[in-house]
Amino acid sequence: ATHPRRHVILYSLGSERDPRIDLYELALQPGDQILLCSDGLTRHVSDDELAIILGEQDPEEATAALVRLANERGGHDNISVGVLRVETVAGGERVRQGHRAKRAEAVPTPARTFLLGYTLFLSLLQTVLISALWFWLLY
Residue with more model confidence, 45 or 77: 45
SS3 assignment, position 59:
helix
Residue 112, domain member (yes or no): no
- The pLDDT tens digits for 51-80 are 999 999 999 999 999 999 999 998 877 888
pLDDT over 90, % of the chain: 34
Q: Of residues 115 and 70, which shows the higher confidence score?
A: 70
DSSP count for the chain of H helices, then E strands: 4, 4
Q: Where does the pLDDT of residue 136 fall: very low under 50, low under 70, confident under 90, or very high at 90 and above?
A: confident
Q: Which residue type occupies 79?
A: I
DSSP string, 118-133: HHHHHHHHHHHHHHHH
* Res 93 pLDDT > 60: no
Q: What is the pLDDT of residue 25?
A: 81
Q: Which of 22-26, 44-48, 106-110 has the lowest mean pLDDT?
A: 106-110
pLDDT of residue 100: 44
Do 27 and 90 touch, CB atoms closer than 8 A? no
In a domain, 55, yes or no: yes
Judge if pTM exceeds 0.75.
no
Contact 101, 25 (CB under 8 A): yes
Residue ranges making up the domain that contains 67? 30-87
Q: Is residue 58 part of a domain?
A: yes
- 37, part of any domain: yes
Range 35-55 average pLDDT: 92
What is the pLDDT at residue 27?
83
The answer to whether residue 51 is domain-embedded is yes
Q: Which pLDDT band holds residue 48 (cuts at 50, 70, 90)?
A: very high
Q: How far is CA 122 from CA 42, 113, 132, in A?
A: 45, 14, 15
Count: domains in the chain: 1
Q: Is residue 135 part of a domain?
A: no
Say if 56 falls within a structural domain: yes
Lowest mean pLDDT among 35-39, 66-70, 111-115: 111-115
Q: Alpha-carbon distance 40 to 91, whole Å?
A: 36
- Phi/psi zone of residue 81: left (φ > 0), alpha (ψ -120 to 50 degrees), beta? beta
- Is residue 62, in this structure, part of any structural domain at all? yes
